[in-house]
Structure 1
Amino acid sequence: MPPTLPHAEAFALAGPAPGASPLVFDSPHSWRAWPAGGTPTTATPSQLDTSWDAWVDEIWAEALAGAAPLLSARFHRAYIDANRARDDIDPAMLAQPWPEPLAPAATSRRGMGLIRRDVLPGVPMYTQPLAAADVRARLQRWYDPYHACLAGLVAAAQRAFGLCVHIDCHSMKSVGNAMNEDCGAARPDLVVSDLDGAAADPRLRRWVVDALRAAGYSVGINTPYRGGELVRRHGCPVAARHSLQIEIRRSLYMDEARVVRHAGYSQLVRDLGRFARQLAAALDGELGVLLPRCLPPSNPRRENP
């Protein structure tokens, strides 16, 4: 069994007060420990580490240096995944019928739905079905508070600036495995996703991709990741809410086999810090002029002093 967190909160929030920046960052998969309670998993800590977005919250916290809000989950993504829809549940995992309709997606069929079925290809997480009450408790204690906090951050940014740019932060294996759509394929340094254009203005995505390529990184777009539930919920360009998912190839900053950081970590932090500062400046300048804003009549956009 992995270590447990008997009194964990659902999330940690770093950075300035909500609404201090049009940028909002979140990291839903960067917590390593397993919450206490519920059906125990038979997965080992080393097996769970293969799905952990290793140090992604720390990478972005160091890069941002307090300039924008950063929300980080404090529950393991295999326990309940904040980047999956609430109804993305494999009914075969449940000991009782679920009281509402379920809509298991392709992620569930590959063992990576809201509640993870397999820790590795063909290696189950549990030896028995989960009680529906257990899954309901995970939603209420962990999943829902995380989503509520992120929704509040996005709304506060939009109220203050007329728009919000949400960056959903992840890491990815250097080569996809049998639970991924790109099994056996080598991946680029970074992948920027926006649900094939549905979650962000194309000018914003183009700016982000160009800036990351200018920093020397190879950047894929919507392949092998299109974006998950967090991008879907918070990306609505016509309402001036833009959401992008950024995946970082783990070998850029860590030894994946030994699960330790290497010298590339510091360089990545510096590059992402420069990127975040450039993005904030662009939103306050020419890029921000191009993106439509939705301002309530009684709350005009704040001007920088």
Structure 2
Amino acid sequence: MQTPYTLIVPQPDVAEIPLIFDSPHSSRHCPEDMQAIAPQAAIDSGWDAYVDQLWSGAVKHGATLLAAQNHRSYIDLNRSRLDIDPELLDDAWPEAIQVSEKSKAGMGLIRRYALPGVAMYDRKLSIAEVQHRLTQYYDPYHQQLQDLIHHAHARFGQVWHIDCHSMKSVGNAMNIDNGAARPDFVLGDRDGSSADPSFVLWIAEQLRAMGYIVNINNPYRGAELVRAYSNPQQGRYSIQIEINRALYMDEKTLAYNAGFPVLQQNLTTLCGLLARYIRDKLQAN
């Protein structure tokens, strides 16, 4: 079995800071037991292509980067563990479940649809299959992220967590902004509940100074990975960053476009500014 994640730690000549990046959807790998019938192009539309590469410069500035090694359609690490879709199962789930609106739309913990109207499977999944995906992929990733955040907080007293994603340049029927053109970046802090709003505004200002169009909490507020590991009152700050794919790739061919190195360098610059911001905050306390 392929390892469930890759962990990239700060370079040895750089002082570590309590800044954790995670990229839960940047893997294109579909394990063999997935056995999906959806066309590969439809499955690839849910792939946050190259997001881990875009943020790879973070480790040059003392941050840590955690990246998943399974496709989000196999199991979505940015959904609640309880978000089991009963329509996908061949039997009743043996534990309590909390079916979200995402699952009802076919895009929950395990996707029923690759795209609107495009079925992922021609069969029901067994309880054992879903449990395997949870214990071998979902749980190890969440445990590693939780450990990183816990240890950073224990050492420094505060921790900043950035959950990294990409988004289609135009919303589709599975999104709340169907047909709408999207900005360059969307920052999500669950309407101010997962981080200090001034921190979110600070990031928005840095990106806008680079010439980007930035929204906050529209159309993405942040999902499970932001909700589960944030507690601003305890100095645990967590936000989600969505990047418009048209900035760096051809959305049809999935190849890099000329914007990739520019965006990658700008994000590395942002990470350097973030490192300085965090060091200043730690010194102030």
> What interval of TM-score do these two structures reach, taking the shorter chain for normalisation?
over 0.9
2:32 equivalent in structure 1: 36
Find the aligned partners of 1:63 and 1:163 in 2 and give their Cα distance.
18
Given the alignment of the two structures, is residue 125 of structure 1 paired with residue 120 of structure 2, yes or no? Answer: yes
1:299 equivalent in structure 2: none
Find the aligned partners of 1:94 and 1:235 in 2 and give their Cα distance.
32
Instruction: Select 2:221's aligned residue among 210, 220, 226.
Output: 226
1:16 equivalent in structure 2: 10
Find the aligned partners of 1:40 and 1:66 in 2 and give their Cα distance.
40
Given the alignment of the two structures, is residue 49 of structure 1 paired with residue 44 of structure 2, yes or no? Answer: yes
For residues 9 and 81 of structure 1, do their structure 2 counterparts lie closer, same or farther at Cα, with a shift above 3 Å needed?
Answer: same
Q: Size of the alignment, in residue pairs?
A: 283
Given the alignment of the two structures, is residue 27 of structure 1 paired with residue 23 of structure 2, yes or no? Answer: yes
Cα deviation for residue 36 of structure 1 reads: 2.5
Percent of aligned pairs sharing the same letter? 48
1:144 equivalent in structure 2: 139
Q: 1:241-275: per-residue Cα shift (whole Å, max 9, x none)?
A: 00010000000001111111011000101111111
Find the aligned partners of 1:214 and 1:206 in 2 and give their Cα distance.
12
Q: What value does the CA root-mean-square deviation take over the aligned residues? A: 1.7
Find the aligned partners of 2:200 and 2:169 in 1 and give their Cα distance.
23
Task: Please give the secondary structure, in 1, of the residue aligned with 2:38.
Answer: coil
Q: 1:77-127: per-residue Cα shift (whole Å, max 9, x none)?
A: 000000000111221111010111211111112211000000010011011
What is the TM-score normalised by the length of structure 1? 0.89
Report if aligned partners of 2:58, 2:65 keep a CA contact under 8 Å in 1: no
Q: 1:189-228: per-residue Cα shift (whole Å, max 9, x none)?
A: 0000011111001121111111111111100101111101
What does 1:175-186 align with in structure 2 at a 5 Å threshold? 175-186=170-181
Cα deviation for residue 288 of structure 1 reads: 4.5
Report if aligned partners of 2:195, 2:238 keep a CA contact under 8 Å in 1: yes
Find the aligned partners of 2:232 and 2:54 in 1 and give their Cα distance.
27
Which consecutive unaligned segments of at least 5 residues does structure 2 have? none
Report if aligned partners of 2:61, 2:275 keep a CA contact under 8 Å in 1: no
What does 1:243-262 align with in structure 2 at a 5 Å threshold? 243-262=238-257
Q: 1:113-157: per-residue Cα shift (whole Å, max 9, x none)?
A: 000000010011011111011101100000000000000110111
Given the alignment of the two structures, is residue 135 of structure 1 paired with residue 130 of structure 2, yes or no? Answer: yes
What is the TM-score normalised by the length of structure 2? 0.95
Report if aligned partners of 1:253, 1:264 keep a CA contact under 8 Å in 2: yes
Which consecutive unaligned segments of at least 5 residues does structure 1 have? 1-6, 294-305
